[in-house]
Chains A and B, each alone.
Chain A
Amino acid sequence: MAGGFLSDWRNWQLAVAIGFVVIAGAGGAFAGSDYFLQIMVLAAIYAAIGTAWTIAGGLSGLLLLGYISFFGLGAYVDGLLFTKFGVNPWLCLLIAFAGAGLLAWLIALVTLRFGLSEDYFAMFTVALSQVLKYAMLNWDFAGRATGVYLTVVKDDFATLSFVDRKPYLYIALALLVIVILVNYAVQRSRFGYLLAAVRENSQAAEALGIDSGKVKTKAIVLSGALAGMVGAFYCQFATFIDPRQVFSLATNFEMLLGPVLGGRLSIIGPVFGAAFLKPLQDLLRGWLGGEADALYLVLYGAVLTLGILLLPKGVASYVEAWHRRRYGNP
């Protein structure tokens, strides 16, 4: 057993997270039901978003509340480039990565230049997401409220379009692995130490010569770019996007629940958080049936509220405590 490697908390998390992804992929391969594949793909998407978010929202301690801007932008980049210009969706993933990264950079530039406080930064990001929504709602090229749709009638790997749900699952999991690796790399790198320093005490970090602005900018850009890439994939998967859907504040908060309840300083937190919460949401809704949606809202809200109150640092903090006991302090 690779006791040495696993005795490091981050390594252990990486192993567990990747292991989980592999098992999920295997499970999906044998799953007969489209219904579960559908739920699993959405869960994987949420997990990837959550893990990407923690780079800026967890590790840097930034109150990046309006995160869906990047996701929605990525979705539209793919939707419009693919349907209007025939740009290959795989390429769109990269373009969305760059585009969302650019948006993130602009946000960082503006907010740092104007020295926005934490709360205001949070509200700025939320307001921006809604500005993007209204911009798309009023832009003819983007289809306004009618949105963008794709028609997929056969499997075509070259254009990331499938009739079967399984390829979507594999690609979603692959994207999730990429995000997990980026998160891991950040945590193990010098950049990760800088983020931690800035998170703990921005002023002390500055006194030590760390350019906190630059560090925060890098974090936001990386976080946003990854979300954009996942958003582009989402467009291919859902085959229909409109502004209210991909810039929805409700979805925005749902995506943050995974990392917050799972543990936003960890790697496994957002992954397992989303893996648990998103299917819970979909299955609960399926169970309770169409009209019991009101009951579902009450239950779901209660789960959230209690979860956040009882697990403020997220479940991962307990796992970390166990890990420390099991492997001793490295």
Chain B
Amino acid sequence: MNHVRSKPNKPHASRRQFVKASAAAAAVAALPGGLAFAQANEIKIGFLLPLTGSFAEAGQLNKQAVEMAVDEINRAGGVKSLKGAKIVPLFANATSVDEANTETTRLISRERVTGIIGAYSSGSTISSTVIAERSSVPYLVPNALADEITARGLKYVFKTVPHFSQFATNAAEMVLQLSENAKRELKTCCLVRENNFFGNVVGREFAKYMPGFRIQILKDNIFPTNPTSFEDVILSLRRDSPDVVFAAGEPSSITLLFKQLSELRYWPKLGWVGLGGGYTNPITWGNLGKLADGLIVVNDWFPDIKLPGAREANERFRKRTGKDMLGNSNTTYAGVHIFKAALEKAGSTEGPKIRDALAGLDLVDGPQTFMYERVKFDPTGFMNRTTLVGAQVKGGQAKVIWPTAVRVADAAWPVPDWSKRT
């Protein structure tokens, strides 16, 4: 791939030489992107992930989830309706919007991928899906939450992760039920959220839905990314004294926050509920150690859940990576299997056919049932799910405690504060 433009600023290069050199460079650059040929019987799928930078931990874990799914598919004979074609994953680093866009165009025009799965961050996903759309390349989103992703009338975009509003509604339902079981009143809450995409939207949803649940938001604490101290948030919480705290943030911030929470000995009356992303990342729990005991976390799945194949899938992942399949690695793993199911159904590598296959999917069995009882996309490309689940962390493990249908343990609620913990 040798097309770095020849640098024309050499001393002694005459103008004519320079013109010739630039023309040559431009000609090379103009070669149609045919240097990457797919081997016969290979299906290339592009994966946009943050493999370096602030989200590298999650990105790398997602990558391993992809590799596990691809291994399983290929060892079981590949895509049967395409004569056993094997899946070849192409990973591209997407740590910024520009990078995601550039890499998406590369995957599509140079690598000729059959589909794209990504891109972890909402901003990168919003912009790169547009690029895939106009090239008629199906794009599956198993890890970026923004509602906008499927709200723009794009036909080639499919999203398997929940809408933001569920983080508010399901979390409220959960704490109200837990409090009822413990015969405690829950009337007030505070929000502690990071000033990033997820945090912003969560705040919006809570403001919208809490009044309906009769939970008063005493204060909405928004902290900036990379704060060196949370003293202001914690002092404010202590003053407001809410029944429960709903929180969202990245692993780094959560690590610092909890260290300071324990130092300053503050804990809400009933408990602390962490939503999505950083709070359900096992790396966060590892970093916090005992500090994370009692934390309630909400997401779409945890390994200790009453669903077929859940424990087994997690065990396979643990064997591979030493970690639980959390932090979107579960949705990504499931996403690869879902895409493969679409390939099987389409029996073709043409974008429009795969797209139609995805749109018409209605799966109730297959590897993804460890997480999704039914896979079906609505006309906007969004996969409806019934509810998020809540789990409680102890000793680095999270056991699902809500809703009743899929729980594996009872919640310790109220969660004892620092002085009462062993």
Contacts and interface: CB of A to CB of B under 8 A. Distances in A.
Contact of B30 (A27, A318, A322): A27
Nearest to A323: B11
A291 interface: yes
A137 B200 CA distance: 10
Interface stretch (B100-108, B238-246, B322-330, B358-366): B100-108
Interface in A141-187: 144-147, 149, 151-153, 163, 165
Interface stretch (B70-78, B148-156, B282-290): B148-156
Contacts of A290: 49, 51-52, 91-93
B96 interface: yes
B148 A31 contact: no
Contact of B123 (A138, A153, A240): A240
Tell me what chain A mostly uses at the interface: helix, strand, loop, or mixed. Answer: helix
Contacts of B307: none
B11 A321 contact: yes
Interface stretch (A36-44, A98-106, A118-126): A36-44
Contacts of B106: 35, 38, 286
Contacts of A238: 97-98, 101, 127
Contact of A245 (B23, B51, B96): B96
Interface string A1-45: 000000000000000100110011011001111111111101000
A16 B15 contact: yes
Given A20-B22, A240-B127, A322-B11, A280 B110 contact: no
A35 B109 CA distance: 6
Interface stretch (B1-9, B297-305, B392-400): B1-9
Contacts of B49: 290
Contacts of A283: 1, 3-4
Interface stretch (B191-199, B258-266, B370-378, B410-418): B191-199
Interface residues of A, number: 61
B53 to A, nearest CB: 8
B27 interface: yes
B18 interface: yes
A285 interface: yes
A145 B200 contact: yes
Contact of A268 (B9, B19, B152): B9
Nearest to A291: B51
Given A35-B102, A315-B9, A149 B224 contact: no
Given A36-B29, A145-B199, A287 B130 contact: no
Given A152-B130, A238-B101, A23 B22 contact: yes
B91 A149 contact: no
Contact of A153 (B91, B98, B134): B134
30 contacts: A19-B19, A31-B30, A32-B32, A33-B29, A33-B32, A33-B33, A34-B105, A34-B131, A35-B110, A36-B29, A36-B30, A38-B102, A38-B105, A38-B106, A134-B224, A145-B199, A147-B197, A238-B98, A240-B97, A240-B126, A272-B8, A276-B5, A276-B7, A282-B102, A285-B93, A286-B106, A289-B91, A291-B93, A315-B9, A319-B9
The 9 closest A-B pairs by CB, nearest first: A27-B26, A32-B32, A293-B52, A240-B127, A33-B33, A290-B93, A34-B105, A34-B109, A35-B106
Interface of B: 1, 3-5, 7-9, 11-12, 15, 18-19, 22-23, 25-27, 29-33, 49, 51-53, 91-93, 95-99, 101-103, 105-106, 108-110, 122-124, 126-127, 130-131, 133-135, 146, 148, 152-154, 195-197, 199-201, 222, 224
Given A27-B27, A134-B224, 4 more contacts: A16-B15, A32-B31, A33-B32, A239-B130
